[in-house]
Every structure is written in structure tokens, then in C-alpha cells.
């Protein structure tokens, strides 16, 4: 089987190189499968008779690395220019690569395993920047993302129908996919941009929003709260819109209150979960996690490795009542410090700061609603993911929307240049609301020069 896979691989790589959007679409589908089959893996017998355990995201990671390597070898100058333009993203990827090279001889395959599980996802924005060349490409990709989230929502409803409740029937990663899709649909509605059909978009928005509120995962609620705060800040000048959001919020509270009256047990469980957010020490799970964070950070500090961390592949552990515990710290920021130290945390912080700075600047100059929609969607969902990181680690869904925003920024540069050079085209596209999916932009557009 291993030999057969190797013989097919070159043909597959060349096929994807000619149709790279298929590789881009593979990511949201793989993310969905990895959340549904979170504990699943299968072994492939290697040439040394040892099994290689594959996870649902591994094909996407492997093919992305091959594609980017092939693209870099055939187009070195554009690829290097792309990496320079997104310097902090490139530096963080280089940092992960360096730590793999340093710690692989020490920890063996555990180093690769941890890197591919938590940090290979940062390759996706690079892939998207290479592959997405027209606004039509980006719009199609967003449809695939929302379609995969719809499958996640239907999977949640199916499990809820079998168990009699949607409360915590899926894991938090799946619930976050649905929450991100809810923000995506809401932002499309705000900008009056249609994804599939106006009626279908409304139904999906209500479905995603309802499942987000009923998920029962506190980290997802934190993400939703931070996302709503960012959304309100982005549109603070639109009083009518803010008024509508407030009315919808009050109506949701009334509906939930009525629901809890008729189903008091569900209301009590959700109330207990929400209390854990306001007062973590009152919740056994939250206090247990905080104890683990404190212990591991103190051990890192006492060992003198706080600046550069303990590396990839070294398992987490702390002691609870005389028993060693080896779970991940359930906090993306603590995990960054443990693995890469304060240096890695600063690099990641600069990456996030540069992302938000560029999105805010681009929102001020972009004139057409679809591009503003993609910028808002990327900013809100990537920002919301950092609320989720307070209870869990990084997830690929965050980097998907990071990629949506940075691609919108790059396309806006090219698009604004074309509009500047062709006022007739600009007027026509504004009159039709840019519903033509940029058919006039199918021809290659020269790279924008600042």
C-alpha cells in the first residue's frame, strides 16, 4: 500500500498544481473531518514495518507542503516577495521549522506529531495567498467554508435528535466552526451580500446562531462574545445597525428565558456553565486547568527556559494530589510560552497586531461591499478565535479566516488599481453591486506596486 501511494503521489501533485483551488477546498473539509473524528487515526505500514499514524488533517498538510515546495522552486521571486510582504507570518513558520530541527533528535517523532497538530495550520494563509488570484476564487472558497459548517450543523442536529439535546453533543472545535459560520453569515447580511440565496442565508444564520447559544461550551461562548464586541466596534458608527443588534439580543434573551422556564434542567446546566466564565474558581474544571497553567509556567521559569521554552515534543505534565497529569494546558497562550517561550509569544503577538493593523487600514480604502465583507469576516472570526484560545489551543478554523482577510487585502490592491485605470468599469461594477463575480477580472491582473 505504501509503494502504491508513492507511485500515485506525483500524478496527484501535478493534478493539484494545475487545479490548486481543489487543494484549497480540501482544508475546510479536512478540518470538519478532524473535528468529527477527533479521536480517529489509522496506521499505514511503512517500509521498516513500523506503522505511520495518519490524522484527518495530514493529507491537507502533506499536499500543501509539496505544492508550496513545487511553487517556490518554479516561481522563486514571487514566492520570496510574498514571504517578505507577510514577514511575521514567515518568521513564525520559520520558528516552528527551527524548533522541529532542534528538538527532533531529542524527542523523535513526538516533535513532528506536535508540530503537525498545532502549528502546520499556519501554512494555510501562505497557500491561500498563492492560490487565490481573483475575487471569484475567494468567494467560491468562502462558499465551501460555509458549506462545511452547514454539514457540521447538520451533524450536531442529528446527534441532538438521538440524544434529546444539542447541549455539548459535539466537541468545542465543531461548535467553533458553527460559531464562525454564524458570524460569516451575519456579516454578509450586514453588508447585503448574498452567499447562496437570500432565504437560504437567513435560515443558515438562524441555524448557526441557535446552535452557538445551545452548544454549552464556555470557550465557544467566550469566542462569540469577543466576536460580537469586535463586530460592534467595527460598525459603531451605524446607529441603525447597532439598534437592530440590540433588539435582536433582547429578543434572544426573552426567547431563551421562556425556553428555560419550560425546560429548567437545561437552564440550570447552562447557567452553571456561564457561572464558570464569571468565576472560574467556582468551577472544578476551570480551577483544575488554572492550577495546571500555574504549575507548568512556574516549572518553566525555575528551569531558566522561560525565554525560549522547552521545545516541541516534550509532553505537558503537572501533579494533582500525588498523580501526574499529562494533558495539554487547554490554553493557547500558555501552550505558546511552554513550547516557544516569551520569544515565541512575542512573535505571535506581532503577527496578530500586524494582521489587525492591515485589516483596519484596508477597510478605510476599500470601496466595494464584498471586499469589506471578507475583511470584516476575517477580522471578527480570527479575533474571536483568541477568546477560544483561553480554554483550548489554536485551531485551523482561525487560520482559515485569517487567510480570507489577507487574500481580500491583496485582491483589493489589484482591484483598486484596475478601477483607477478604468473608471468605466468601476461605474458599471458599482451599479450592479458587484454581482457579476468579477467576470471582467478573469484575465491575469498585474501585481500591484505600491
- Hey, how many other C-beta atoms are within 10 angstroms of the C-beta on 380? 26
Answer whether 402's CB lies under 8 Å from 375's CB.
Answer: no
Within-domain flag for 198? yes
Within-domain flag for 159? yes
For the chain, what is the domain count? 1
Q: How confident is the model at residue 300 (pLDDT cuts 50, 70, 90)?
A: confident
Which structural domain range is residue 391 located in?
A: 86-280+328-441
Each as own residue / partner, the long-range contacts of residues 247-254 (CB below 8 Å, 24 or more positions apart, any chain) are 252/213
User: Which pLDDT score, from 0 to 100, does residue 448 have?
Assistant: 36
Within-domain flag for 256? yes
C-alpha distances out from residue 449 to 356, 358, 404, Å: 22, 16, 21
Tens of pLDDT, residues 425-438: 455 444 444 443 44
Within-domain flag for 260? yes
Looking up cell 473608471 gives 423
The DSSP secondary structure of 118-179, one letter per residue, reads: HTGGGHHHHHHHHH--SHHHHHHHHHHHHHHHHHHHHHHHHHHHHHT--TTSS-HHHHHHHH
User: Which pLDDT score, from 0 to 100, does residue 420 have?
Assistant: 41
Tens of pLDDT, residues 307-358: 998 888 866 665 555 555 566 677 889 889 989 999 999 999 999 999 999 9
Within-domain flag for 276? yes
Within-domain flag for 1? no
pTM of the model: 0.82
Tens of pLDDT, residues 73-124: 999 999 999 999 999 999 999 999 999 999 988 888 888 888 888 899 999 9
Put residue 304 in one of left, alpha, beta given phi > 0 → left and psi -120 to 50 → alpha: left
Tens of pLDDT, residues 247-275: 666 666 666 556 556 556 555 555 555 55
Within-domain flag for 255? yes
Amino acid at each position: 500500500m505504501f509503494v502504491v501511494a508513492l507511485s500515485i503521489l506525483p500524478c496527484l501533485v501535478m493534478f493539484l498544481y494545475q487545479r490548486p483551488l481543489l487543494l484549497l477546498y480540501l482544508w475546510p473539509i479536512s478540518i470538519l473531518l478532524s473535528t468529527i473524528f477527533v479521536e480517529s487515526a489509522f496506521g499505514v505500514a511503512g517500509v521498516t514495518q513500523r506503522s505511520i499514524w495518519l490524522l484527518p488533517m495530514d493529507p491537507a498538510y502533506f499536499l500543501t507542503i509539496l505544492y508550496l515546495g513545487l511553487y517556490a522552486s518554479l516561481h522563486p521571486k514571487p514566492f520570496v516577495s510574498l514571504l517578505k510582504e507577510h514577514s511575521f507570518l514567515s518568521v513564525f513558520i520559520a520558528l516552528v521549522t527551527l524548533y522541529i530541527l532542534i528538538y527532533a533528535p531529542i524527542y523523535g517523532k513526538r516533535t513532528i506529531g506536535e508540530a503537525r497538530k498545532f502549528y502546520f495550520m499556519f501554512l494555510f494563509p501562505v497557500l491561500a495567498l498563492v492560490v487565490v488570484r481573483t475575487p471569484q476564487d475567494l468567494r467560491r472558497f468562502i462558499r465551501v467554508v460555509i458549506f462545511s459548517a452547514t454539514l457540521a450543523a447538520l451533524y450536531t442536529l442529528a446527534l441532538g435528535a438521538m440524544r434529546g439535546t444539542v447541549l455539548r453533543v459535539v466537541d468545542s472545535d465543531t461548535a467553533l466552526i458553527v460559531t464562525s459560520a454564524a458570524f460569516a453569515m451575519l456579516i454578509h447580511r450586514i453588508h447585503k451580500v448574498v452567499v447562496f440565496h437570500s432565504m437560504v442565508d437567513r435560515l443558515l444564520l438562524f441555524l448557526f446562531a441557535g446552535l452557538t447559544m445551545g452548544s454549552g461550551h464556555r470557550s465557544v461562548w467566550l469566542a462569540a462574545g469577543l466576536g460580537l464586541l469586535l463586530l460592534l466596534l467595527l460598525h459603531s458608527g451605524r446607529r441603525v445597525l447597532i439598534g437592530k443588534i440590540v433588539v435582536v439580543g433582547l429578543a434572544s434573551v426573552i426567547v431563551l428565558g421562556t425556553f428555560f422556564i419550560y425546560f429548567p434542567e437545561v437552564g440550570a446546566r447552562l447557567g452553571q456553565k456561564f457561572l464558570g466564565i464569571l468565576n472560574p474558581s467556582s468551577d472544578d474544571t476551570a480551577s483544575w486547568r488554572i492550577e495546571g497553567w500555574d504549575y507548568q509556567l512556574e516549572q518553566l521559569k525555575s528551569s531558566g527556559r522561560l525565554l525560549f521554552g522547552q521545545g516541541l515534543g516534550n509532553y505537558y505534565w503537572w501533579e494533582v494530589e500525588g498523580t501526574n497529569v499529562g494533558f495539554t494546558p487547554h490554553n493557547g497562550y500558555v501552550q505558546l510560552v511552554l513550547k516557544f517561550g516569551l520569544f515565541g509569544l512575542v512573535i505571535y503577538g506581532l503577527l496578530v497586531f500586524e494582521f489587525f493593523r492591515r485589516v483596519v487600514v484596508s477597510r478605510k480604502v476599500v470601496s466595494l461591499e464584498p471586499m469589506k465583507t471578507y475583511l470584516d469576516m476575517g477580522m471578527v472570526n480570527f479575533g474571536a478565535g483568541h477568546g477560544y484560545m483561553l480554554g483550548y489551543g489554536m485551531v485551523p478554523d482561525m487560520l482559515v479566516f485569517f487567510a480570507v482577510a489577507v487574500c481580500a487585502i491583496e485582491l483589493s490592491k489589484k482591484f483598486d488599481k484596475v478601477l483607477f485605470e478604468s473608471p468605466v468599469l468601476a461605474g458599471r461594477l458599482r451599479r450592479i453591486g458587484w454581482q457579476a463575480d468579477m467576470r471582467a477580472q478573469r484575465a491575469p491582473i498585474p501585481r500591484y506596486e505600491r
